[in-house]
Structure 1
Amino acid sequence: MTESSSHLTVTADAYDAIAALYADLSRNALDDQPFDRASLEVFAEVVRTAGGGPVAELGCGPGHTTAYLRKLGLDIFGLDLSPVMIDLAREAFPDLRFEVGSMDALDLADGALRGIVSWYSIIHTPPRELPAYLGEFGRVLAPGGHLLLGFFESEGDPVTPFDHKVTRAYRWPIDELAALTRAAGFAEVGRILREPHEGERFRHGRLLMRREPAAAV
């Protein structure tokens, strides 16, 4: 088993095991998070302003963020590694589309999407593999499409592994993650850093990126 397939299996199994509890705890996660809602609302607005079109939440979990973005007017579907999470999402939001899949190998045509949300889903990706994931995001995003990344920020430290409650995860310096995403063909539109609230351990980062046109050959 390769490192990539091993970490995907471990992550899926870990989220399957706690899916019901996770869904219950995350149901109202946005209620007291104005910066988080603002990030999602800006993303929705720029996608709509650019003409709209299909959007995917990659690593959608039980579907609450997908449903929130649908209320903001996006044509969105969710994808997650965990079959149990997808079952819960389909049960909670039967009018939305949810699929089991991996964000490193998307069953989508080149340029099929106008937006991607990765809301704390890249945090479990081993750092050496993240460029390939960002490259896959760029493949399925049409030029001018937008990508929103939500993640834990490392507060000046290098990429830092930590003991996430579900399975191993990584905190990223926002400048390094932005540079890595630019190297995958994106331009930065904006960023937000917020300090941890009570009960949280780490600073949170959001990066809004735009897919650049492919360079002429």
Structure 2
Amino acid sequence: MTQQADFLSATRTFYDAIADDYAVRYHDEPARPMDRGVLFAFAELVGVGGHVVDVGCGPGRVTRYLGSLGLAVSGVDLSEGMLGVARRENPGIRFELGSMLELGYGDGTLDGVVSWYSSIHTPTHELPALFAEFHRVLKPGGHLLLAFQVGDEPRHYDRPWGHPVALDFLRRRPEAMAELLVPAGFDVRSRTEREPEASFEEKVPQAYLIAAKSRAAI
């Protein structure tokens, strides 16, 4: 098994196992006002009716919220378990099985891509390939939104809700992520960082980058 296939398989297995428990625990996402503010700003930049794909969509709560802001949304996820929840709760939205690294969309066909805490299982050395794929599917001027936890050390989750699975959640530095977006052909338009919210059991700051496809990747 290749290194890429290995981390994709581990991610799929983890989320298939926890899908139902995860859906119950995070039933009201996006719950934090500042998170909704970032998503609203992204939707304004894309424009009403713009086609946006939520990659690593999980149970589809953020996908649905973006749709409520006037975007034409769809979702992609590795986990059939998560997609089962998303389809059950959002019968009017298209959800597809797939990998962020190989999206089933043509070159320059999307107005926006959202990666809402879904790049956090992608190894650092795979991020240039991931951003290149986002660049490929976006129209010129199309927008990308990345959300992730801030930090240098990963958080290891072992046996969540008693399930016999484990996975690392990788934390990143906003400046490092922004530096990787530039050679991928993006202009970073916004960099937002907020403090953790204790009421949601957050331990570290959260970061959000909005970038626009500007040119060919280097």
Matched with 2:215 is 213
Alignment of 1:71 onto 2:68:
yes
Query: 1:189 corresponds to which letter in structure 2?
Result: R
Maintained 8 Å contact 2:178/2:188: yes
Matched with 1:47 is 46
Matched with 2:168 is 168
Alignment of 1:87 onto 2:89:
no
Query: 1:120 corresponds to which letter in structure 2?
Result: Y
Maintained 8 Å contact 1:57/1:66: yes
TM-score, normalisation: structure 2 = 0.92
Once structures 1 and 2 are overlaid, which stretch shifts more, 162-171 or 142-151? Answer: 162-171
CA offsets per residue over residues 69-113 of structure 1, 9 Å max, x none? 000000010000001111110000001110110000111110010
Secondary structure at the counterpart of residue 28 of structure 2 = coil
Provide the C-alpha distance between the structure 1 equivalents of 2:7 and 2:216, rounded to a whole number of angstroms.
Answer: 31
Provide the C-alpha distance between the structure 1 equivalents of 2:216 and 2:129, rounded to a whole number of angstroms.
Answer: 17
Provide the C-alpha distance between the structure 2 equivalents of 1:214 and 1:85, rounded to a whole number of angstroms.
Answer: 34
- Tell me by how many angstroms 1:202 deviates: 1.1
Matched with 1:38 is 37
Indicate the RMSD between aligned Cα atoms, in angstroms.
1.3
Aligned partner of 1:103 among 100, 103, 110: 100
- Tell me by how many angstroms 1:167 deviates: 1.5
Unpaired runs of 5+ in structure 2?
161-165
Provide the identity percentage. 45
Matched with 2:186 is 186
Query: 1:143 corresponds to which letter in structure 2?
Result: P
TM-score, normalisation: structure 1 = 0.92
Unpaired runs of 5+ in structure 1?
none
Provide the C-alpha distance between the structure 1 equivalents of 2:71 and 2:61, rounded to a whole number of angstroms.
Answer: 14
Query: 1:161 corresponds to which letter in structure 2?
Result: P
- Tell me by how many angstroms 1:162 deviates: 2.1
Matched with 1:130 is 127
Matched with 2:58 is 61
Maintained 8 Å contact 1:124/1:169: yes
Provide the aligned length of Structure 1 versus Structure 2. 208
Provide the C-alpha distance between the structure 2 equivalents of 1:41 and 1:211, rounded to a whole number of angstroms.
Answer: 19
Matched with 1:2 is 2
CA offsets per residue over residues 26-53 of structure 1, 9 Å max, x none? 111323x11100000000000007xx43
